[in-house]
Structure 1
Amino acid sequence: MYPSCFNWAQISGTAFTRSAGAVCYRATAQTYRLGATGCRSDWSPPGWLLARDVLWLLAFCGFAINYSVRVNLNIAIVAMVKGSAPLDREAEDVGYCTQSGAVLQNTSDVSITSDQGSLWNVVTGANSTSFNTSLEIGSTNLQAHLDPDSTYALLQDGLFDWDEKQQGLVLGSFFWLHWSTQIPGGILARRFSPKLVFGLSNLGACLLAVLIPLAASVDYRALIAVRVFQGIVAGMAWPAMHCLIARWVPPNDRSKFVSAYLGSSMGAALTFLVSGLLIGWLGWPAVFYATALAAAVWFFAWWLLIFDHPHKHPRISTSELANLHASLGEDTAVNKPTTPWKHILTSPQVWLIVYTQWGGFWGLFTVLTQAPTYMRNIHGWGIGMVGLLTGLPHVCRTMFSLVVSSVGDCLLKRGLLSRTKLRKSAAVIYLLGQGALLVGVACSGCSGVAAAACITAAVAVSGAISTGPLAAIIDLSPSYCGILLALTNMICVTPGFISPIMVGHLTYQAQTPEQWRVVFLVVAALVSFSGLMYVLFSTAQQQPWDPPCGQPYAGAGGGVATERQPLQEDNAHKGCT
């Protein structure tokens, strides 16, 4: 029950804090906040649920949405493009390593006629029977001669006659200009609202997905145009989240919180899994419509429940606000100094992280983009299995990240490991471990089980990024972490469009294990060398050009003036046992 704003002076008690023009008084049993919107009672959440826990959950879902829009085309294109069905290979089966024999050895009495149908059928996702496809194999039942995967591939053969090079352009186009909005995104988040930048970036990119079926039916270049625009819009999301973390999360809790970024892997996993089912049920366009719907639901929750700063949160508990104030300091600056671009661009540690992330992203983007095509063309897996078994590694990556980050934060709080050693240890797991496992993929030959196991493990160990270089960006400069991440991502997106082009050229009209071995060995070398450089030369110490402790300055981190050690009460709440 809210007290009358006209009788606020009658509330007994003393003012205990002041923020953004609001004066809070502690009465007998409740705290009342008076401000421009009037008087109201502060609601305290359950003891196990902090406001920053809600932020973590919705950030996790937001990154899942962000990656869903990146990768949904990777599996949908398998159903969109001609040439993956058994009959197109005549004497071959679907995969290079599978033996053709039982399936359609004699095609002399097989006739297929197909009409792609109207534009409406393409846009609405009508299945292959809606495209007036007719199949006759003498008088014999088709199902008796084809296994389910082959039947599925046959009836769902793609509409678009794009070769490997054109497919590489389509898959890589998202990243062509993705870099261009990284730094603007960090600047906008710093100057205005990281909540708004992150939310609208995700929502806008996903809503553009509804145009993909129409664009693909026009020409592959029209599809490229849509994907380029999606990449531009989505590029602002990641730097904005680093700004929120610097405002909301104490230093010794950041490894665990940054694991929210691994929602990207969960998003990829669910996208691969659900897309395979949607393609089978409703046709490939349903993948893009589902992405847009999920983004709209997430944005509604994000807009209602997330706030740019703890002091602006209407439902944060008094104890949590006090703990955050004690560990992070207070945003007292009115004018924000100019970003020290000269120091940032000449900092060896900044460029070391950029290079490290570049190598790691090359490995992740290659596996993320090419795994469905590799498993389909080499090992002969159907779309359903491709969706399931390329989604599994990303689930493992998320779980691995949560474990490593929790252990890492506990080691920091107990003083058993310095922050620099923790970041380096995580990089060994993330980069050197991933490089070794990619060598395993290269050497797997025609063993689909071995390839799947190595891919799963390679993606899983990359979850240590949240405890390694990704968290180190905030360590180096809490005040400018958003801009540092923007600079890193601006350069690190280049593997996103270079890798598909490289793979397209290496495997052009040569879908063989030998050619794919070259692909994975090149990627393993790039990943491993970047990890070695980080282990040898990195540090997690705050850089001298970042505002020193105690200076009342709110930089790119969005209001982090000084970072102190988290209160013991706050550490105990997060758990370190």
Structure 2
Amino acid sequence: MQDKELFNGVTGRYTDCMDENGIVKKNGVDTENASKSDSLRPPGFGIRHLQILLLFSGLFMSYALRVNISVGIVAMVDKSSPNTYNWDKKQQGLILSSFFWGYLLAQIPLSELAKRFGGKLLLTIASIVCAVLTVLTPWMASIDWKMMLLSRALQGLFQGAYYPCVHTLLSKWVHPMERGTLTTITYSGTQAGSVVMLAVSGLFASSTMGWPSIFYFSGGGTLIWTVFWVFFGSSSPAECTRISIDEKKFIESMPGSSHCQLKTPWSSILRSVPVIALIIVHATQCWGFWSLLTETPSYLVQIFKFDIKTNSLLSALPYLAMWLVSLAVCPLSDYLINHGHIGITNGRKLFNSLGHWIPALSLIILPFLKDPTHAIVMLTIAIGMNGFTYCGYICNHMDLSPNFAGGLMGLTNTLANIMSILGPLAVGYILTDDNDIDVKMSEWKSIFFIAAAFFFLGNLIFVIFGKASIQPWNDEIEQQQKLPQQQVQTTAVHQDDERLGSHINIIRVNSCDK
């Protein structure tokens, strides 16, 4: 009988899953080894959890800086408010998308810098620059709308360091047994930041300080976070002086991770079918997510005529749902995988399908709903269920390559965020200045249908071609580096054997002479 190989969710590799009696281990997961690894896990709150908390709050602030413009621009062009601007829809679309111009340029080179110098330094510099630019936003807007393009593009350039740095840090700090939970908690900071910023932006805009306060508070909060990060953050357990020996040993025992400086095998990565599937599903996620995130406030104003304060609170509701969903599913995902109820590849595909196909169906239904309450509920379902993706494609970079998770995130995020530019731009070109409600509904129907199509097709490709096993190129550079050393050692052994053989022959001759 031919041996059958299935993925081992604990070791992170394909292993022989059939015992001597021909019985396949449950879903390819070695539950015995899982129990052993679990027994080595230090109890209680550890330094790795502190790093997760810092990264969560860092992503919280980074998304506060990203989405502040979504409600901010509504107030900035509101003619009934003071200090506003006469920007048309296309100019607004350019401002909303300009963040991603710089974002695209930075991902891959900054991922290499993060791998070489560690994520802490790069993340510190990026957060300081983005915070200062955010605080200066009202001044730059008063000069010219093109200065807003420059400001947002520069923020995107430096925020391009966040995802590669965070993925690099997670690959150093998070053991595969905790990957679903701790990764989801970390990246749920993006939704928490979106929720809070969308909710309070309307309150800030309607306050005596006006819309500039949106940018002052979000920029100032980021500077405060940076201080905590400088004092308590660390690039890896090896560089951390506060970590216990037991916790350090547990983390550094993770499979597939090297402590050497390895050259990224870009050629092998770009030819990898699972990586191509990951790029596609990441790209379709960016189109759907960012089209909705940047344009939801405009949709609620144009179709249902909500005021700025109500609009900001209702715009935050779907992202609150997404945050809560992501936190709820992450322990479920780890439990199912670690206890052998589902293989890790099937687990990633299952949760990603829930995170893309339910939103796709919801977006098809949404434009047919005339009642604002029903529409908000459906919009909340569409965006909220997208939280399942945190146990889907977002973990997949570390599944495929612990050694190059940051670079892989830089690659997929670069290519995927082309969609983050095109999405808001497409919305800006689809929407017109026609105030007829039927025309507006028709335009928003097109926007929602396009997003639904991207969600459906992207996940279909991920389901067919995606994998969650460590790929051969994760170790190939390290093996090539070890090969000359092994050859030298083998040559030395042969030489020692030859000398030993010579000595033995001499002894035999001498014995015969006697």
TM range (shorter): 0.7 to 0.9
Matches of 2:246 and 2:152, distance apart in 1: 45
| Matches of 2:266 and 2:257, distance apart in 1 | 25
More helix, by proportion: 2
1:414 aligns with 2:410: no
Q: How many Å separate the matches in 2 of 1:443 and 1:360?
A: 23
Question: Equivalent residue for 2:401?
Answer: 477
Amino acid at match of 2:227: F
The answer on 1:68 being equivalent to 2:64 is yes
Query: Judging changes above 3 Å, is the alpha-carbon distance between structure 1 residues 214 and 412 closer, same or farther for their aligned structure 2 residues?
Result: same
Aligned-partner residue type, residue 277 of structure 1: L
Query: Structure 1 counterpart of 2:463, which letter?
Result: V
Aligned residue in 1 for 2:317: 392
- In structure 2, what is the equivalent of residue 544 of structure 1? 472
Question: Please, which of 347, 354, 378 is the counterpart of residue 429 of structure 1?
Answer: 354
Aligned to 2:422: 498
Q: Residue 549 and residue 395 in structure 1: after superposition, are their counterparts in 2 closer, same or farther (change >3 A)?
A: farther
Query: Following TM superposition, by how much is the alpha carbon of 1:325 offset from its aligned partner in structure 2, in angstroms?
Result: 2.8
Aligned residue for 1:457? 381
Q: CA RMSD in A?
A: 2.0
Q: Is the 8 A contact 1:165 1:508 kept in 2?
A: no
Cα shift at 1:276: 1.0
- In structure 2, the partner of 1:245 is 170
1:516 aligns with 2:441: no
What letter matches 1:76 in structure 2?
G
Of 185, 196, 221, 1:294 maps to: 221
Q: CA deviation at 1:395?
A: 1.7
Matches within 5 A, 1:322-333: 322-328=249-255, 332-333=259-260
Per the alignment, residue 239 of structure 2 pairs with: 312
Matched with 1:528 is 456
CA distance in 2, matches of 1:330, 1:231: 30
Is the Cα contact below 8 Å between 1:440 and 1:451 reproduced in 2?
no
Matches within 5 A, 1:230-309: 230-259=155-184, 260-281=186-207, 282-309=209-236
In 2 relative to 1, CA 552–418 (structure 1 residues): closer, same or farther, beyond 3 Å?
farther
Instruction: Tell me which moved more, 322-331 or 237-246.
Output: 322-331
Flag as ranges the 4+ runs of structure 1 deviating above 2 A. Answer: 325-333, 548-554
8 Å contact kept, 2:102–2:155: no
Mapped pair 1:174 → 2:170? no
Counterpart of 1:51?
47
CA distance in 1: counterparts of 2:337 and 2:265, whole angstroms: 30
Shift in Å, 1:47? 5.1
AA aligned opposite 2:446: V
Question: Which residue of structure 2 aligns with residue 402 of structure 1?
Answer: 327
Is 1:203 aligned to residue 131 of structure 2?
no
Identity of aligned residues (%): 30
Query: In the aligned structure 2, how far is the partner of 1:391 from the partner of 1:443?
Result: 22
1:239 CA drift (Å) = 0.5
List runs of 5+ in structure 1 lacking aligned partners.
1-45, 84-153, 555-577
One-letter identity of the residue aligned with 1:340: P
**AA matched with 1:66:** S
Residues 88-119 of structure 1: per-residue CA shift (max 9 Å, x gap): xxxxxxxxxxxxxxxxxxxxxxxxxxxxxxxx
Structure 2 letter corresponding to 1:526: F
CA deviations 1:148-173 (Å, max 9, x no partner) are xxxxxx4x266211111111111111
> Following the alignment from structure 1 to structure 2, what is the Cα–Cα distance between the partners of residues 288 and 357?
29
Q: Which residue of 2 aligns with 1:343?
A: 268
User: TM-score, normalization: structure 1?
Assistant: 0.73
Distance 1:440 1:255 in 2: 31
Contact 1:442 1:518 in 2 (8 A): no
Aligned to 1:133: none
Cα distance between partner residues in 2 of 1:478 and 1:74: 35
Q: Is the 8 A contact 2:274 2:467 kept in 1?
A: yes
Q: Tell me, which stretches of 5 or more residues in structure 2 are unaligned? A: 1-41, 483-514
Conserved? CA contact 1:247–1:328, under 8 Å: no
**Letter paired with 2:221:** A
Are the aligned partners of 1:331 and 1:553 in contact in 2 as well (CA < 8 Å)?
no
Q: 2: CA distance between counterparts of 1:346 and 1:157?
A: 54
* Aligned residues between the structures: 435
SS at match of 1:416: coil
Compute the displacement of 1:510 (Å): 3.0
Distance 1:206 1:294 in 2: 8
Which of 134, 142, 150 matches 1:217? 142
Alpha-carbon distance in 2 for matches of 1:170, 1:490: 19
Aligned pair in 2 of structure 1 residues 158, 462: CA closer, same or farther (>3 Å)?
farther
Name which of structure 1's ranges 361-370 and 317-326 shifts more when overlaid on structure 2: 317-326
CA contact (8 A) 1:199 1:237 kept: no
Letter of the 2:454 counterpart: L
Give the conservation status (yes or no) of the 8 Å contact 2:127–2:223. Answer: no
> CA 1:553 to 1:279, structure 2 compared with 1: closer, same or farther past 3 Å?
farther
Retained in 2: the 8 A contact 1:367–1:455? no
2:502 is aligned to: none
Q: Separation in 2 of the partners of 1:79 and 1:454?
A: 25
1:546-561 aligned at under 5 Å gives the runs 546-547=474-475
Q: CA 1:510–1:528 in 2, change beyond 3 Å: closer, same or farther?
A: farther
Structure 2 counterpart of 1:114: none
Q: Aligned equivalents of 2:478 and 2:304: distance in 1?
A: 59
For residues 456 and 199 of structure 2, what CA distance do their matches in structure 1 show?
30
Judging changes above 3 Å, is the alpha-carbon distance between structure 1 residues 328 and 552 closer, same or farther for their aligned structure 2 residues?
farther
Q: Secondary structure at the match of 1:541?
A: coil
1:482 counterpart letter in structure 2:
G
Between the aligned partners of 1:379 and 1:319, the Cα distance in structure 2 is 57
- Residue 489 of structure 2 is matched in structure 1 by none
Contact conserved, 2:133 with 2:151, CA < 8 A, in 1? Answer: yes
The offset of 1:403, in angstroms, is 1.3
Cα distance in structure 1, aligned partners of 2:315 and 2:401: 36
Matches of 2:143 and 2:125, distance apart in 1: 28
Q: Deviations over 1:513-566 (max 9, x none)?
A: 121111111111111111111112211111111117996989xxxxxxxxxxxx
* 2:415 is aligned with 1:486: no
> What is the rounded CA distance, in whole Å, between the counterparts of 1:466 and 1:342 in structure 2?
28
**Contact 2:257–2:403 under 8 Å retained in 1:** no
